[in-house]
Amino acid sequence: MSTAQIPFLKGHGTENDFVIIPDHEGRIELSPAAVARLCDRRAGIGADGVLHVVRSAAHPEAHAMAAEAEWFMDYRNADGSIAEMCGNGLRVFAHYLERAGLAEPGDMTIATRAGIRRAHVAKPGPDGEPGDITTGMGRALLPEGEVTVTVDGRTRPARNVNMGNPHAVTFVDDLADAGDLRTAPGVSPASAYPDGTNVEFVVDRGPRHVALRVHERGSGETRSCGTGACAVMVATARRDGADPAVLGHPVTYTVDVPGGRLVISESPDGAIEMTGPAVIIAEGTFDASRMGVSWTDAAA
């Protein structure tokens, strides 16, 4: 067992990077400590999170969704904590399914802890490079009540947006105003986010064009956050008086993240779509015992 090797791949979406672990029948057990070791950038493979690829029918949290979606995205943050959703991870997950021959290019459905999500994987270009991927991100919830974000002694108002996972979105004059995002900014009241939250700092770049920095709950500052980009689009559209439900037509914003660019659209019915790239850059194996990963006998 000490020499057992587990296959993995490494991918990213706008530089939000992930270790991908194929485990179709759900035999591999990923403890929080094992995930943290895998994501360690010095002693492990290094990533913002882990995408555990499991058939929905083989996972207790996804079994009820198996009739709609064959595959479940069991997503873990870099610290080993479980997350409801990850937008960039969803694009990478969809790209992996197509690349591995587990799904055809075009439309597919994927089970997540935030429910069923849909993806459209464009066919590779003439050069073989993967096309952009559009994912359905569900609908935003806008909980009532004021929230604030505090950095370096300065408190700013924020918008509470839930994209299946929680976000606090605040607008700043300069992205440097976000300070050091390796640690979580202060968010109040604590009751608004009982399980913690992602925090986005946003600046304007032009008409319906913004840029952000983000602290991801459980991962620290990351190069991109897909659900965060969607939360930012929703908060910015409401600030700008561009609510699609009021206007009666879709609204689209370009959202720049440190790792690239995403395009976010919201329809009058509240459905949100995100379009952006996803790439897989490497694959190999890791020593299971060194990473603290275990499995049932059938997978050994």
Cα 76-136-81 angle, rounded to 5 deg: 10
Binding site feature residues for substrate: 16, 77, 87-88, 165, 198, 216-217, 226-227
H or E element that contains 255:
strand 251-257
Q: Which of 235, 237, 232 is nearest to 257 (CA)?
A: 232
Structure tokens at 103: 């799904």
| 3-state SS, residue 145 | coil
Residue of 28, 225, 264, 278 with catalytic role: 225
d(CA 160, CA 184): 16
Query: Is residue 39 among the annotated active site residues?
Result: no
Long-range Cβ pairs for the range 190-195 (8 Å, 24+):
192/143, 192/145, 192/147, 192/160, 192/168, 193/147, 193/160, 193/166, 193/168, 195/166
H or E element that contains 33:
helix 32-39
Q: In angstroms, what is the C-alpha Rg of the chain?
A: 19
d(CA 269, CA 190): 31
Residue of 86, 169, 210, 251 with catalytic role: 86
Answer whether 41's CB lies under 8 Å from 249's CB.
no
Residue carrying the six token digits 């976010």:
264
Backbone φ/ψ region at 14: left (φ over 0), alpha (ψ -120 to 50), beta: left
Other Cβ atoms closer than 10 A to 79:
15
Q: Which residues are catalytic?
A: 86, 225
